[in-house]
Amino acid sequence: MQIDFTNYFPSTQREFETREHNGEEARVLTIRRTYPTTTENLWDALTNIDRIPNWFLPISGDLKVGGKYQFEGNAGGEILECTPEEEFKVTWEYGDQMSWVNVSISPAPDGVNFQLEHIATVPQDMMDQYGPGATGVGWDSGLLGLFHHLNTGESTNPEKGMAWMMSDEGKAFIKMSSDAWGEASIASGTPPELALKAAETTRKAYTGETEE
């Protein structure tokens, strides 16, 4: 499988911040980019239960407000809000961890603007060790799959996706994503030496390298 990931990065923006959510201090990572497609097509790719596995993971459930969803071998949750072809909000539940994901889209001159927010309460020691890339690299890989699907019409599966991630190209992508989230962490006020160390720890975790 060939994926041109070099064109994914130039139009992808990443932000990281701390803010209050439900009365608690939460970490918020945001990814913004523009997809060169129509609003109808992007919305369908994001919400059609038969199409989501073409670029992310197999999914089951009742995809309507109040319904539950479950990604195979990954997170599940509840659909909290949905405005067709504009935005949806869901809980993101993995094991005993609860977080929230908000996705919005809007027309742009060269396609459709996309924004994803992931809001989570994260212990400080984990944040110091991995930084926002612990979650951000995972989202980058999923949104790269969406980018590839929209550009080519091709679909992939978890086995092919994992094999690509462990290839030389995939590892180069992981490094670029980890570094980009390290930069977002520095921009948020994290000391550079701490942010860069966390980015490298995250890179090694995703590529399966052993910490020395």
Long-range contacts of 41-49 (CB under 8 A, 24+ apart): 41/150, 42/105, 42/112, 42/114, 42/150, 43/84, 43/85, 43/105, 45/146, 45/149, 45/150, 46/88, 46/103, 46/105, 46/146, 47/82, 47/88
* pLDDT given at position 9: 85
**CATH number of 12-206: 3.40.1530.20, 1.10.4190.10, 3.30.530.20, 3.10.50.40?**
3.30.530.20
Q: Domains of the chain: which residue ranges? A: 12-206
pLDDT, tens digit (0-9, with 9 covering 90-100), for 156-169 = 777 777 888 888 99
Averaged over 199-210, what is the pLDDT?
A: 92
Q: What percent of the chain has pLDDT over 70?
A: 98
